[in-house]
Amino acid sequence: MQPVSVAGLSQAERDRIVVTAVADGQGNEHPVTHFGDPVWDLTVEAQVTNKRLPEFHIAWPTDVAQDLVNDTKAVLYCALRRGRIDGRPWSASAVASTGRETVPLLRYLSHQGLRNFSEVRALHLSDYLVPLRGKIKPSTLRRRLDVVDMVWGFPDEVLYPLTQHPWAGSTLHHVCHYDNNGVREPAGRAARTPVIPRSVQRILFAHCEGRLDEAQELFQMRDAGRLGPTSRELTAIRDAVLYVLQICSGMRNSETIGVCGGCWRTEVRQGVAFHWVRTKEIKTRQGWVDFLVPPQALRALEILQRYAQPLQQRLAEEALWLEKLLRLEATESSRLGNGMNVAEAVQRLNYVREIGQCLFLNVSGVRSDHRDSGGRIDVMKSDACIAQLKALARAAGTDWELTNQQCRRTFAYNVANSRLGRMGLVFLKWQLKHASLSLTQLYASNPCQDQTLYRELEGEQALARVELMEGWLQPDALLSGGAGKKLMQTRATPVANLADLLQHAAEVIDIRSTGHAWCLSGTRGCHGQGVYDPSMCSSCSQAVIDRDQADTWQLIHLDNLRLAAITDCGPSVAQKAERAIKRSAQVLEDLGVPLPSQQQAQHYQAQAGDVR
């Protein structure tokens, strides 16, 4: 039984709820964790494979008032099944991390003599929180207190709900100082992850190329039985591919580890070869995604595929062995030949099938497999990747403390400083699979940037925004675009203090110029496509078009007329031209500007012909 709510259930009924279960090949479900268990195992809910098993376990404390633990379990169960209070889904990793981080808070409350959350007051939480500010990161502090926020937000799910607001009317975001001391991002922030210096990049890349050049000879030695499949010489090849792929693609560690055999391809478009690697993106839930990579990355992956072949074969043999065990020995209470119970064996079998084609493989010493050799094949975990990258840097002759995230940050910085320039940010946002362009700007920022200068520039930007919006709010100002029309409607509502409103709006609203419109979009909208297709801005809810852009829209209208005059490109081009003409004409009408005259059109056509 896995209800989405525990409201109205007694504690005894809650303890019988199945928190996690695993399904075998016949569709039979085997419970892994019950609500009342002293340890929750959320591994089967995990979507990433690059984290260690203990990171998905919550060991509930025994030295804490049981009612505090039970209600903490209740809200975390609801978060796992239904998501956070604001409706956003919550991963098993986030739930497990929050559960572990909450234990110190529960111990503190219990030591204060509090038996349940109904006895907790805002003063208790303030006394706990204040000494920790500055000692631990705001993100860690928030995870420790997240459960209290959920107890307040899910009062029907707990047996002892809070009786007063836990933050005295404020928000958890604010009390944890999670707003970066009031400084807006990204100008007020500096990326904490360093960019790998160019001199170090050259050393590392040359070292990795050397390892890859040796691969063919080493594989022949392995196939002849003179090298073990996980010998240091061969794992050095794997680690070289790990660095090359991450520095050439900007993938997160979870995306890199998810790369499987044959997941790359080359396409030729207009004589240009594009190389793609396909993997699964978890963090922003985009699913299967493509990364653009240079040809060196594909060569490295082809070498890695040869490295992984004997390890993949061992996984396939383990899967057959587990299937046989489950078929011949399995009963719900029995221990199988390898010491696992049925649920553990099914869970391992499903996992082996999931990672069977992965390339970044190693031997884990957690448990033995069918060979009874004291270890079994697994994908590399995040901490193992960091350790191996540090070892690679030392082997290359540098003392740089290399990490996965540094490769991602360095890739972003290199692209932003390439010939693409700032236009590369649109590509970077897509390549790095970011939810917002502001985060991409932070990744691409100069590590030596002057924060004081950035704040001064931001102040000037805010002043410019105030002047721009003040013009928009004039009663006789004609505007177009979705946001522009809304502004014209809101101008009829009197405002007590226009100056304060404009100043606040300038601080919280990003206004970007596309050359033909003002874009107010943060993470929503067209994600930059309106820069190349002006007609998208004409009805966009995040666009404002004012009279200063009228001349540009007259030229856009003339361009649309030229497009419509082309008759040999098929009906789709004709339909697009017709839509674009209607949109540009509507913008000019909204702004009170006449359509271009026939003489202007002829003159424009002649100039365009001369340029061509």
Domain boundary residue among 128, 147, 180? 180
Report pLDDT digits (tens) over 383-392.
Answer: 999 999 999 9
Looking at the structure, tell me whether residues 38 and 152 fall in a common domain. yes
pLDDT digits (tens, 9 = 90+) for 166-178: 998 888 888 887 6
Q: 585 lies in a domain? A: yes
pLDDT tier for residue 14 given thresholds of 50, 70 and 90: very high
Does residue 345 have a pLDDT over 80? yes
Strand partners, 512: 519
Q: Is residue 475 part of a domain?
A: yes
Q: Has residue 103 got a pLDDT over 80?
A: yes
Statement to judge: residues 102 and 246 lie in one domain = no
* CB-neighbour burial class of residue 483 (10 A; exposed 0-12, middle 13-18, buried 19+): buried
The predicted model scores a pTM of 0.67
Q: Which of 180, 208, 236 is a domain's end point?
A: 180
Residue pair 543/520 in contact (Cβ under 8 Å)? The answer is yes
Is residue 586 predicted with pLDDT exceeding 60?
A: yes
Tell me, yes or no, whether 269 and 298 share the same domain.
yes
Tell whether the model's pLDDT for residue 179 goes beyond 90. Answer: no
| Structural domain ending residue among the three candidates 404, 437, 461 | 404
Phi, psi values for residue 271, rounded to 5°: 85, 0
How far are the Cα atoms of 206, 386, 402, 428 from residue 408, in angstroms, in the given order?
Answer: 19, 13, 11, 11
User: Nearest-CA neighbor of 461 among 514, 422, 515, 512?
Assistant: 512
| Overall number of domains in the chain | 3
Q: Point out the least confidently predicted range of 112-121, 243-252, 577-586.
A: 577-586
Q: Is residue 540 part of a domain?
A: yes
State the pLDDT at residue 611: 41
Residue 516 CA to its chain's centroid (Å): 31
- Is residue 182 over pLDDT 50? no
Burial class (CB in 10 A: 0-12, 13-18, 19+), 195: buried
In a domain, 246, yes or no: yes
Each residue of 543-572: pLDDT tens digit? 889 888 888 888 888 888 888 888 787 788
- The tokens for 185 are 């991002």
255 shares a domain with 150 = no
Residue 471 counted as domain residue: yes
Mean of per-residue pLDDT scores for the chain: 84
- pLDDT value of position 130: 85
Q: What local confidence, expressed as pLDDT, does residue 65 receive?
A: 93
* Percent of the chain surpassing pLDDT 70: 86
361-364 vs 518-519, strand pairing mode = unpaired
Task: Tell me the average pLDDT across 507-511.
Answer: 71
CA angle in degrees (0–180, nearest 5) for 592-595-597: 135
pLDDT of residue 454: 52
Nearest CA among 306, 217, 292, 287 for reference residue 251: 292
Residues 220 and 130 in one domain: no
Alpha carbon of 298 to those of 192, 264, 361: distances in Å?
Answer: 30, 7, 18
Q: Which amino acid is at 133?
A: R
Q: How much is the average pLDDT of 74-100?
A: 85
In the chain, the amino acid numbered 157 is E
What's the pLDDT band for 531 if we cut at 50, 70, 90? confident
Q: Which of 312, 298, 309 is nearest to 245 (CA)?
A: 298
pLDDT of 111-141, one tens digit each?
999 999 999 999 999 999 888 887 888 888 8
Query: pLDDT band at 343, cuts 50/70/90?
Result: confident
What is the spatial distance between Cα 526 and Cα 4, in angstroms, rounded to a whole number?
A: 35
> Does residue 458 sit in the same domain as residue 607?
yes
Average pLDDT of span 234-248: 95
Could you tell me if 540 and 530 are in contact, meaning their C-beta atoms sit under 8 angstroms apart?
yes
Q: Which amino acid is it at 121?
A: R
pLDDT confidence of residue 158? 93
The pLDDT > 90 percentage for the chain reads: 39
Say if CB 367 and CB 376 are below 8 A apart.
yes
Same domain, 246 and 150: no
Beta bridge partners of 544: 518
Domain for residue 300, yes or no?
yes
Same domain (yes/no): 510, 548: yes
Instruction: Return the closest-CA partner of residue 260 out of 357, 356, 354.
Output: 357
**pLDDT at residue 448 in the model:** 55
In a domain, 421, yes or no: no
User: Are 389 and 471 members of one domain?
Assistant: no
Residue 451: its pLDDT value, please?
53
pLDDT for the residue numbered 183: 39
34-48, 85-99, 424-438, range with the lowest pLDDT: 424-438
Q: What is the pLDDT of residues 58-80, one digit of tens each?
A: 999 999 999 999 999 999 999 88
**520: closest CA among 492, 564, 573, 481?**
481
197 contacts 449 by C-beta, under 8 angstroms: no
Q: What are phi and psi of 205, to 5 degrees?
A: -70, -40
DSSP 191: -
For residues 212 and 153, state if they share a domain.
Answer: no
Q: Same structural domain for residues 221 and 129?
A: no
Structure tokens at 66: 């049981």
Residues 263 and 154 in one domain: no
Identify the domain containing residue 23 by its residue range. 11-180
* 433: in domain: no
Mean pLDDT value of segment 291-313:
94
